[in-house]
Chains A and B, each alone.
Chain A
Amino acid sequence: MYWMAYGTNWFIHFRAISECLQRMDGRANCHMGTGALGLRPKRRRIELQPQFGLFRAGGIGYSQTLLETTSFFIGWRPYGNRVWPLSFDKRAFKAFCRGNGIAVPRQWNLSQEVEADVLIKRGVSSFSEGINGPYTPAAVKASSQALVNGEIFEEFIAGDIIKVWYWNATPVCLEVLPMPTVTGDGTCTLRQLIRRIKVPHADADWSALQAIAEYQGLSLDSVVPVGRQVLVEFRYQSILHRVQPDFPNLNVLAKFADSPLMDQLRRSGEIFWRGIPEPIRQNTLFTVDGIIDRSGTARFVEMNSNPAVHPDAYAPMLQGLFGIGVTRDAGQTRPAPLQSPAAATRVD
């Protein structure tokens, strides 16, 4: 049913584009051989490139061509693919953020230095792959766990998960999801409680769930006491996030419009955007993931240069591409110089 979810349902994307073009007095055709979209507003023409999703062993993958295994739609963008160092390496991203005053979780490289609950993450990975934990500092130190292949200990922050879509420096969509929990009834084991909230027919990663249980002093076969709330997932949109009726649009940007969080997202957006190398900076869509901590501050964990396109991103995208509206262009302001990732690393 994944293809029915709001952002992966292709015709929701068509509807979003169509609504934008109506306001711009434009039209569009889709090439059925490739899925490319030719836009023609106001005697101009731009081609948007499609991207598709598929299920593969161990997770999902993206493809720019329509394959026999294609299962869902990711979105259109005015380019094929763009990758830059901050989007490629989580360590570089966090070093860049720290160097430029953007809140991120703390990070350690040695188990004996760990001072907070942590996740073990790979510096380079996609789709929430290669994340282990959480672990308490005591557990990390007791195991003397050595990191391999560019892994890091990253502070684990329990809070709401956020994903922000930026068109250039402007936040254009925001999703805020709680970390899923179950509540004990004094009868059921944690495994049974998880099965009750899990998306049916999807395979759960029980070893990862066991690690989350152990972090809270439980096992999957523990009977959870009455009323005890147990965290069962910390990743964005997992199979433990309850399917909502009618697969609604989860963009809550408008709800946060005048909030301190939005101020933070706007200020951070300027800096994130300028972290993209200049030759590929203009007219770029990217996402940044983070956690909202107890103080309401977003702490950012990674930047994605190749995200699924939220359908609500097309309006600012097309306005920007056709020079309509107020989307920020490079050179409009004279921003403060940035700390480069390398310099930021030295600061650490």
Chain B
Amino acid sequence: MTDIAWIDAALTSARPQAVAALLRYFRDLDQAEEAFHEACLRALKSWPTNGPPRDPAAWLIMVGRNYTLDELRRRKRQDALPDEEKISNLEDAEETIVERLDSSNYRDDVLRLLFICCHPDLPATQQIALALRIVSGLSVKEIARAFLVNEKAMEQRITRAKRRVAEADVPFETPGALERAERVGAVAAMIYLLFNEGYSATGGSGHIRASLCEEAIRLARLLLRLFPSEPEIMGLAALLMLQHARAPARLDAEGEIVLLEEQDRSRWDRNMIDEALALVDKAMRHRRPGPYQVQAAIAALHARARRAADTDWAEIDQLYAALERLQPSPVVTLNRAVAVAKVRGPADALAMIEPLADHLSGYFHFFGVRGALLMQLGRAEEARVAFDRAIALANTPAEAAHIRMHLDRLMKDSLPV
């Protein structure tokens, strides 16, 4: 591995911790970002010749902090600095040695940084954009491309989000246990959203979407390192890894969706699956089930089946029933119906989803599942109507093409012999 590639990886992995600590010193997101940016420039100059520091994050924090303090002093000489009182810890920040980052400080710093990005005042799309910019360090251009908007619009979206969180005034005191748990929950939800943005592929090229999924997994691992005994975070990390492990088999050479049952399982990423299964096992020991753990357990049953025919649908049905109790939602019931169709047949499954029609009248997958069940029951005409509706609601060409394949099959079957 070349020096530059290593430095790049080191800067990326040190970023959350370094920006989080700088945010604590300066209590200003822009200032923290600028300090980190400057420290990175210096690292690129210094590390190739002087060798990398033992602790890159500590190095970046120290250099970024000293740079900013010098800058502020310089500016203060030129014109009176209006918001000096806003800069916290100026006294102890003068110390030249790096504060030893004890683990609880570090943990709350990073959690605060993540939490600021998913502040409840922000709409979901702004949360994700802000996290990608601030925590992951993606460029505005990259984020804009992933969301299929132009760079300027994304720049505005991020600026607006930053202003909103500055106004929201997230406290810098060490959070209490309850507050900490709430923050962890909000951050987990944001990571889950980010992953879905990449996974559901509502647009953008496959490559860019995959990088969103990888970024979400990186953040989930980060959160898990901060909270190593939190079973729901183990569940979240495992769930994302299990889903992402199937990515190489999800689309065929023409870019069309390959259903789980028809995927070439040898193309699944076994290393990622094994790590996720280890996390599921660890989470189960805690006997504190939650929605992420149950979803991970469902994904784990798919991953454990060597062939589609080996899938334990009865157990999956049970797990969806548990998920319905923990987190009732029509989409969960719809997913359960797929398992029910395997265990008890399409008639039972259809009866299960009929009451969902009102809630899911604009949902592509509802009509896809409904069409498939009707087709299995030999009700071709009704199936055709459902599939037509699904095509109208498809989010991507791949989804539409997949439904069209069902329609073609229906047409063929209904031709006179």
Q: Do A and B come from one complex?
A: no
Interface residues, chain B, CB within 8 Å of chain A? none
Interface residues, chain A, CB within 8 Å of chain B? none
